[in-house]
Amino acid sequence: MPKISVLIPVYNVQNYLAECLDSVLAQDFQDWEAICVNDGSTDNCATILSDYANKDARFKVISQFNQGLSAARNAALDIAIGDWVIFLDSDDMLAPNALSRLYHVAQESNQPVIVSTSFGIIGQNNLTRNTSYQVCQPALELLLKNPKGYSSACGKLYRSDILKEHRFIPGIYFEDWPFIVTLFANISGFANIDDKLYLYRQTNGSIVRSAFSIHKIDSYIKGMEFVNEQLANTPLLALAQKRCSIAMRMCINKTWRDKEHRKSLAPYLVTQVKMAHEKGYFSWKYISLKTIIRYLIMKYF
């Protein structure tokens, strides 16, 4: 049984996929399996995946019709057999020492999640080679002190047993933050490494950089709903609602910044914000005055 399962969702990334898979092959830690889920790609990804699987049996390929990133990651989680799990998006890369560094800290710290908070950028100088780490407790409270650094599902090594019942919300954008919030609410602590072990690719066509939409508003709301339902009647609900307030702030500001579509999106946004506030998913006290003013302007367009 491999020590680490590398889970790679794949969708129409033929120009970057080989680099991603090569970064796994180049690891100085070799006891891994890579589960690649071809999520209905219409380009040459299937052929590339087949070539790598034929050359190295540690690459396992699943093919399914297009269901989105959450479903692809969930499918990989369902068959992963490693003691530890790491998520790798198929247009990104791992630094050559990523798995060895994360695994070493996992063994030494005895924590269920190892976090690399500093993401590198592909094509830039990413060498840091920090050898220290810090054990962080309580997990959810410290997560909220750096939501940007901790909210990605990538750049982390997870002990597989804590993921047995933990899955991504299907069919939404921005699926990482509710996954991470509810997971961190169920662990006492984590180990933090300030090293650029995960290498991120900046592309203009990414979900984060593309136009805002009703589906994206819905995704934020569904994430808030999920977090509140999962942590209802627990002592951590108030902390989780603080993180939901950050998500609401982002939703409002992203709608505002999309000058082409914000006037058409505003009525739907206002309806959803009102509903979420009435249900107690978030609190206005955690949202800046600047964001509130933007919301009020859109409310009275």
What's this model's pTM, rounded to 2 decimal places?
A: 0.94
Q: What is the pLDDT along the chain (301 residues), one digit of tens a residue?
A: 999 999 999 999 999 999 999 999 999 999 999 999 999 999 999 999 999 999 999 999 999 999 999 999 999 999 999 999 999 999 999 999 999 999 999 999 999 999 998 888 998 876 666 678 999 999 999 888 776 667 899 999 999 999 999 999 999 999 999 999 999 999 999 999 988 999 999 876 555 557 999 999 999 999 999 999 999 999 999 999 999 999 999 999 999 999 999 999 999 999 999 999 999 999 999 999 999 999 999 999 8
Return d(Cα 296, Cα 204) in angstroms, integer. 30
* Residue 224: alpha-carbon gap to chain centroid: 15
pLDDT for the residue 146? 72
- The residue behind tokens 């500001």 is 253
Residues facing 60 on adjacent strands? 35
Return d(Cα 30, Cα 56) in angstroms, integer. 12
| CATH number of this structure's domain 4-200, picked from the four choices 3.90.550.10, 3.30.70.360, 3.90.110.10, 3.30.70.20 | 3.90.550.10
What are the domain boundaries of the chain? Answer: 4-200, 214-299
Q: What three-state secondary structure class fits 74?
A: helix
